[in-house]
């Protein structure tokens, strides 16, 4: 039976591909860059234009749907998650990479209904990596099923983390403490510069665990569905349930791995979205 969510999925995929062609065209061209919350929290006109393309496209078909977008929020729109169908959008996740021309940058789009993720899409148009998930229907890369790894111990795991785009001393201190704690306890540490792509590497089974403090709902709302549909887990870094507005996330191939990490790390609690 063809549902409204099926129709939403097809429509948003069309818009994401359209937006992807813009990112593909602009990544290696000179671009005007401005800063937001810190001198390394960057934004370009293409972040704003891609977000507008997605929101306008969805709104024209679904006028009663709500939005939480990175750039709309930066322009002052209040973050509000209700039971209404809500699209959580990062038009360019990995903006720093996009500015530098490093091809690890993506569009991240999630649809939540009754505060539950129904659709997750993370699309890196530069490397043509389309990660998708629908609630209860599995996770895919370019249409092929993906699954998390079988790792259950940190000492055999590849950890994805970020140094972030904040210069807040307390946040940086927590990041450095955690790198020092973890560097001798894991196989290796990797950082792609995009929360959404880091999480998708866990969903793909190429990495085993990711955590970060200070991200926003738009960075991980799509990825956390994808990793769960790939057989993994998404929790709060302190071990409790994930809260998409908390600005904290931990995604892993197994609950055992997630809980081993959550017991070890220095916690940091940013102001909520």
Catalytic residues, by residue number, are 70, 90, 92-93, 95, 219
The Cα–Cα gap between 273 and 271 comes to 7
Cα 115 to Cα 59: distance, rounded to the nearest angstrom: 19
Minimum Å distance from CB 10 to ligand LIP?
A: 25
Among 125, 164, 223, 232, binds ligand LIP (CB under 6 A): 164
Q: For the packed helices 169-182 and 255-264, what is the interaxial angle rounded to 10 degrees?
A: 120
CB nearer ligand LIP, residue 94 or residue 270: 94
CB atoms closer than 10 angstroms to residue 187: 14
Listed residue (82, 83, 80, 84) closest to 63, CA to CA: 84
Q: Which of residues 178-217 bind ligand LIP (CB under 6 A)?
A: 194-195, 212, 215
Q: Which is nearer to ligand LIP, 93 or 273 (CB)?
A: 93
Length of the chain: 273
**By the rule CB under 6 A, 224 interacts with ligand LIP:** no
| Stretch binding ligand LIP (CB under 6 A), from 75-83, 161-169, 182-190, 226-234 | 161-169
* 127: nearest Cα among 188, 51, 204: 204
Q: Which is nearer to ligand LIP, 85 or 94 (CB)?
A: 94
For the bound state, the minimum distance from the C-beta of residue 58 to ligand LIP, rounded and expressed in Å, comes to 19
CB 154 within 8 A of CB 257: yes
Long-range (24+ apart) CB contacts under 8 A made by 175-179 are 175/213, 175/268, 177/266, 178/265, 178/266
Measured from the CB of residue 136, what is the shortest distance to ligand LIP in angstroms? 26
Please choose, out of 6-14, 90-98, 138-146, 259-267, the segment that lies near ligand LIP by the rule CB under 6 A: 90-98
Best CA proximity match to 79, nearest among 87, 89, 69, 94? 69
DSSP state of 107: E
Q: Which of 51, 67, 70, 146 binds ligand LIP (CB under 6 A)?
A: 70
Q: With CB under 6 A as the contact rule, which of the stretches 6-14, 23-31, 91-99, 261-269 interacts with ligand LIP?
A: 91-99
Beta bridge partners of 184: none
Q: How far is the CB of 16 from ligand LIP (least distance, A)?
A: 15
CB 199, min distance to ligand LIP, A? 9
Contact residues for ligand LIP, defined by CB under 6 A: 70, 90, 93-96, 162, 164-165, 194-195, 212, 215, 219
């Amino acid at each position: 039976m063809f549902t409204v969510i099926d129709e939403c999925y097809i429509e948003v995929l069309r818009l994401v591909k359209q937006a992807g062609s813009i990112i593909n065209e602009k990544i290696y061209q000179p671009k005007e860059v401005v800063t937001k919350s810190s001198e390394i929290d960057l934004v370009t006109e293409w972040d704003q234009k891609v977000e507008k393309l997605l929101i306008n496209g969805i709104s024209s078909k679904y006028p009663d749907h709500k939005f939480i977008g990175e750039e709309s929020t930066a322009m002052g729109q209040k973050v509000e998650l209700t039971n209404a169908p809500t699209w959580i959008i990062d038009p360019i996740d990995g903006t720093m990479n996009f500015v530098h021309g490093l091809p690890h940058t993506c569009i991240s789009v999630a649809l939540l209904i009754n505060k539950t993720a129904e659709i997750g899409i993370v699309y890196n148009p530069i490397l043509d990596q389309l990660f998708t998930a629908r609630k209860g229907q599995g996770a895919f890369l370019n249409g092929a099923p993906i699954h998390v790894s079988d790792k259950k111990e940190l000492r055999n795991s590849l950890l994805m983390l970020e140094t972030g785009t904040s210069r807040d001393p307390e946040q940086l201190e927590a990041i450095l403490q955690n790198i020092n704690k973890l560097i001798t306890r894991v196989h290796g540490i990797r950082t792609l510069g995009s929360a959404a792509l880091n999480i998708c590497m866990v969903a793909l089974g190429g990495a085993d665990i990711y955590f970060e403090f200070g991200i926003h709902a738009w960075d991980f709302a799509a990825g956390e569905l994808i990793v769960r549909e790939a057989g993994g887990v998404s929790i709060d870094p302190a071990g409790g349930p994930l809260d998409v507005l908390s600005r904290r996330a931990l995604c892993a191939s197994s609950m055992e791995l997630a809980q081993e990490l959550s017991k070890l790390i220095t916690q940091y609690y940013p102001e909520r979205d």
